[in-house]
């Protein structure tokens, strides 16, 4: 949850000289040598340099309080000469930087991780050692529903064996009654991935829920869900505004994840079609649509490019395409099929300004004009920038 305090105090606190004690070792927050205001200016200048040639870049929307915004927190566990440690991997290494509290992570999540570390000691449970592939706890993942307050703790262990499981969970939930579910995730592989395949629900129902606008979304241990809920609301709000829906449109939600944007758009569209590569995410998306009683939306598991090519071949039409690709951006195959489907509007949500700039050039060469560019600071203190862009089909378009 966010800290109390006015903006100028916050800006001072995270600025030069008063920054995070882990800043140099951790390497997660690249911009912490700047005050928050300087960070926003830095990002704005970067965006103007990259995207200013397409259209005016609106002023980046920053956070009122840019601390403790991450509602998804992960900690790796290990042992050193001081005993059991937990924290984050130093950038590009396998060394753990011990951390008890982080300025961008949810504070309750950090407290729970410290409790788990203490409980391990009293229950004589060992952290997992990936050199010998033995021991018990590898990672802890905590996810919190910002608006519902629900908290999920995922204990990632090297094997399904959990000595004194019941007493451990009772002790944990006893100390933190705000925990609503605890899941054991088994990951016995030699891998840099945090989560393994198998989930065992130990307490509660195995998932949490959070809300965006009037809708409720289920978040399971593996679901993709934006980590900064306050700014997600602003980002999705802009995307919906740029779609300018009247209730008559067919909308394609490409790279739809668990269907969040498409479900929000469904309220003001005739029909929404969501397409996503990850079958688990599509399962969640279908569940989310059902639980929100949304009937004008369908989800498909497919490569967004392939799917759109098929739609174009079948002569189908779309009025609006919303696309939210991963950091690598989109590809020509996908964009070519957008040009064939010829929607009036394309709303591009991007988490990487470099690939966005590349893709926008391709749109512009193919009959679309860039009308709005709105950067949103989803990840304060890091160098990441999220952007929503509105593209409109040019009148003299030949398609
Ligand atoms: N719009 C969603 C998810 C965005 S993340 C949200 O806001 O929550 C980007 C998504 O693109 C991921 O879910 C990823 O699985 C999906 N993806 C990656 N490559 C893809 C492809 N080639 N075709 C379709 N989906 C893809």
What are 344-388's pLDDT values in tens digits? Answer: 999 999 999 999 999 999 999 999 999 999 999 999 999 999 999
- CA 258–ligand 1 middle distance (angstroms): 9
Provide mean pLDDT across the span 70-79.
97
- CA 224–ligand 1 middle distance (angstroms): 9
261 lines ligand 1 (CB under 6 A): yes
Provide mean pLDDT across the span 89-103.
90
Closest-lying ligand 1 atom to the alpha carbon of residue 253:
1
Q: Which of 213, 251, 276, 301 to mutate to test the pocket of ligand 1 (most atoms within 8 A of CB)?
A: 276
Question: Residue 5 pLDDT > 80, yes or no?
Answer: no
Rg (CA), the chain: 22
Chain segment 314-355, per-residue pLDDT in tens: 988 999 999 999 999 999 999 999 999 999 999 999 999 999
Domains of the chain: 1-69+228-399 (3.40.50.150), 72-212 (2.40.50.1070)
18 band by pLDDT with thresholds 50, 70 and 90: very low
If you take atom 22 of ligand 1, which residue's CA is the nearest one?
A: 303
If you take atom 11 of ligand 1, which residue's CA is the nearest one?
A: 255
Tokens of 291: 């639980």
pLDDT on residue 93: 84
* 270 vs 12, higher pLDDT: 270
Residues contacting residue 399 through CB under 8 Å, at least 6 positions apart? 339, 340, 342, 367, 393
What share of the chain has pLDDT > 70, as a percent?
94
If you take atom 1 of ligand 1, which residue's CA is the nearest one?
A: 256
396 band by pLDDT with thresholds 50, 70 and 90: low
Are the beta carbons of 221 and 152 closer than 8 angstroms? yes
pLDDT on residue 92: 80
Q: What is d(CA 61, CA 44) in angstroms, rounded to the nearest whole number?
A: 10
Annotated active-site residue 351? The verdict is: yes
257 lines ligand 1 (CB under 6 A): yes
Mean pLDDT of the chain: 93
Among residues 317, 287, 327, the alpha carbon closest in space to that of 207 is found at 287
Provide mean pLDDT across the span 45-70.
98
Residue linked to tokens 């079958």: 279
Tokens of 288: 């989310």
Closest-lying ligand 1 atom to the alpha carbon of residue 278:
15
Tokens of 216: 């409720």
Q: What is d(CA 283, CA 301) in angstroms, rounded to the nearest whole number?
A: 9
Provide mean pLDDT across the span 187-215.
95
Provide mean pLDDT across the span 139-161.
97
Q: What is the pTM of this model?
A: 0.91
In the three-class reduction of DSSP (H, G, I as helix; E, B as strand; rest coil), residue 210 is classed as strand
pLDDT on residue 91: 79
φ/ψ (deg, to 5) at 217:
-125, 140
* 50 vs 20, higher pLDDT: 50
Provide mean pLDDT across the span 27-55.
95
- CA 254–ligand 1 middle distance (angstroms): 7
* 149 vs 190, higher pLDDT: 149
Question: Residue 9 pLDDT > 80, yes or no?
Answer: no
Tokens of 17: 């000289």
223 band by pLDDT with thresholds 50, 70 and 90: confident
Are the beta carbons of 33 and 382 closer than 8 angstroms? no
3 band by pLDDT with thresholds 50, 70 and 90: very low
123 lines ligand 1 (CB under 6 A): no
Are the beta carbons of 66 and 377 closer than 8 angstroms? yes
Among residues 122, 239, 219, 228, the alpha carbon closest in space to that of 175 is found at 122
DSSP string, 260-279: HHHHHHHTT-SEEEEEES-H
Parallel/antiparallel/unpaired status of strands 250-254 and 271-276:
parallel
- CA 327–ligand 1 middle distance (angstroms): 10
């Amino acid at each position: 949850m966010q800290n109390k305090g006015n903006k100028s105090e916050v800006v001072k606190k995270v600025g030069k000289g008063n920054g995070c004690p882990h800043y140099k070792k951790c390497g997660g927050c690249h911009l912490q040598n700047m005050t928050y205001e300087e960070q926003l200016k830095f990002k704005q200048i970067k965006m103007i340099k990259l995207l200013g040639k397409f259209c005016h870049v609106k002023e980046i929307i920053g956070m009122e309080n840019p601390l403790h915004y991450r509602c998804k927190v992960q900690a790796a566990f290990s042992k050193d000469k001081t005993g059991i440690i937990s924290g984050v991997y130093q950038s590009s290494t396998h060394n753990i930087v011990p951390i008890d509290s982080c300025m961008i992570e949810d504070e309750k999540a950090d407290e729970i991780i410290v409790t788990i570390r203490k409980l391990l000691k009293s229950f004589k449970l060992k952290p997992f050692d990936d050199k010998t592939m033995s021991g018990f706890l590898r990672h802890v993942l905590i996810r919190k529903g910002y608006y519902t307050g629900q908290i999920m703790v995922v204990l990632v262990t090297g094997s399904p064996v959990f000595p004194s499981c019941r007493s451990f969970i009772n002790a944990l939930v006893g100390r933190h009654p705000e925990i609503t579910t605890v899941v054991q995730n088994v990951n016995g592989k030699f891998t840099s991935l945090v989560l393994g395949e198998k989930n065992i629900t130990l307490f509660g129902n195995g998932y949490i829920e959070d809300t965006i606008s009037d809708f409720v979304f289920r978040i399971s241990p593996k679901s993709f869900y934006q980590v900064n809920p306050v700014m997600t609301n602003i980002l999705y709000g802009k995307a919906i505004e740029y779609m300018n829906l009247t209730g008559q449109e067919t909308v394609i939600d490409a790279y739809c994840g668990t269907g969040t944007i498409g479900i929000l758009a469904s309220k003001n569209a005739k029909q929404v079609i969501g397409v996503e590569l990850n079958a688990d995410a599509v399962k969640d998306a279908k569940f989310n649509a059902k639980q929100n009683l949304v009937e004008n939306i369908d989800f498909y598991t497919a490569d967004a490019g392939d799917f759109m090519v098929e739609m174009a071949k079948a002569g189908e039409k779309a009025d609006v395409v919303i696309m939210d690709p991963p950091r690598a951006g989109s590809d020509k195959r996908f964009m070519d099929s957008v040009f064939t489907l010829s929607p009036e509007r394309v709303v591009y949500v991007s988490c990487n300004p470099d690939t966005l700039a590349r893709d926008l050039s391709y749109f512009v060469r193919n009959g679309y004009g860039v009308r709005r560019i709105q950067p949103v600071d989803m990840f304060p203190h890091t160098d990441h920038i999220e952007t929503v862009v509105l593209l409109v089909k040019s009148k003299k378009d030949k398609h």
